[in-house]
């Protein structure tokens, strides 16, 4: 537990055999429940995760998707698992080792103090935090930041593509998790839905972390796909906020 709160962590992983062991070993001891979701990996990710989970069966559970379902669906399945275990807060720490566990407390504190329902890491509001981030990634993040702000009707959104997040489980229960976008873009979809219901969203400044891992996102395909998602989300939000008939 962390300050009398039960904390769960979801670790989505797809072909992360080189990093999954490091990620699992660095998860803090105060975490009560860990769901490692292997999204149809074609390498040794599942075998490594299962081997490590066998050493800590009280906390760790490994779920394997036989086919790749998408990172959004993967995280949703982890959310459901943590909810079933009675967690108070659930965080997401990706299997590619890009999320520093030392930063996790920064995401938890605003929720525990009652100031926020959903916290998101923010790598792009400070120049010094963007070291190692490529020019194309910076441009892509800037474009998607503004498109997400418009779609969500929330100009306070800073780094919508950052998957390092934490959410209050009471807030999570109000969402229809089966309606969350299943692939890359889920984070934008969540921000739209949470903004529409006036959930309190806080962005927490932290540095980007890049090492030997390679991003699986192809921005020339990703930006058009997410832009279409955001357009649909914009009209969904208007309908929801005006008539309160949209489905979460």
Domain count, the chain: 1
Does 2 fall in a domain? Answer: no
Question: Which CATH number characterizes residue 95's domain?
Answer: 3.90.550.10
Position 184 pLDDT exceeds 80: yes
The answer to whether 166 touches 89, Cβ cutoff 8 Å, is yes
For the segment 215-229, what is each residue's pLDDT rounded down to a tens digit?
556 667 777 888 999
Residue 137's H or E segment, with its range, is helix 135-152
Does 90 fall in a domain? Answer: yes
Does 1 fall in a domain? Answer: no
pLDDT of residue 210: 62
The answer to whether 164 touches 206, Cβ cutoff 8 Å, is yes
* Residue carrying structure tokens 């590619």: 96
Does 142 fall in a domain? Answer: yes
Does 77 fall in a domain? Answer: yes
Confidence class for position 41, pLDDT limits 50, 70, 90: very high
pLDDT of residue 245: 54
Q: What is the average pLDDT score of the chain?
A: 90
Does 86 fall in a domain? Answer: yes
The answer to whether 115 touches 200, Cβ cutoff 8 Å, is yes
The answer to whether 233 touches 225, Cβ cutoff 8 Å, is no
For the segment 9-31, what is each residue's pLDDT rounded down to a tens digit?
999 999 999 999 999 999 999 99
Phi, psi of 184 (to 5 degrees): -55, 135
Rounded to two decimals, the pTM is: 0.90
Confidence class for position 142, pLDDT limits 50, 70, 90: confident
User: How far out from the chain centre does Cα 43 lie?
Assistant: 23
Domain span at residue 67 reads 7-243
Does 248 fall in a domain? Answer: no
Would you tell me the crossing angle of helices 186-196 and 71-84 to the nearest 10 degrees? 60
């Amino acid at each position: 537990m962390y300050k009398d709160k039960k904390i769960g962590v979801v670790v989505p992983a797809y072909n992360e055999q080189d990093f999954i062991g490091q990620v699992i070993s660095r998860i803090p001891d105060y975490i009560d429940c860990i769901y490692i979701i292997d999204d149809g990996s074609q390498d040794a990710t599942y075998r490594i995760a299962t081997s490590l989970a066998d050493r800590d069966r009280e906390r760790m559970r490994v779920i394997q998707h036989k086919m790749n379902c998408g990172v959004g669906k993967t995280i949703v399945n982890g959310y459901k698992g943590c909810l079933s275990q009675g967690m108070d807060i659930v965080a997401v720490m990706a299997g590619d080792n890009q999320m520093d566990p030392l930063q996790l407390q920064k995401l938890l504190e605003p929720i525990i103090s009652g100031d926020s329902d959903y916290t998101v890491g923010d790598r792009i509001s400070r120049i010094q935090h963007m070291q190692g981030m490529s020019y194309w990634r910076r441009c892509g993040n800037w474009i998607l930041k503004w498109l997400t702000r418009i779609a969500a009707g929330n100009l306070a959104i800073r780094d919508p593509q950052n998957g390092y997040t934490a959410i209050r489980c009471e807030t999570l229960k109000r969402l229809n998790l089966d309606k969350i976008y299943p692939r890359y873009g889920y984070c934008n979809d969540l921000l739209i839905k949470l903004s529409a219901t006036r959930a309190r969203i806080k962005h927490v400044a932290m540095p980007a972390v890049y090492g030997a891992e390679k991003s699986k996102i192809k921005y020339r395909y990703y930006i058009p796909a997410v832009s279409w998602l955001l357009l649909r989300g914009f009209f969904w939000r208007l309908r929801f906020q005006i008539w309160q008939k949209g489905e979460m």
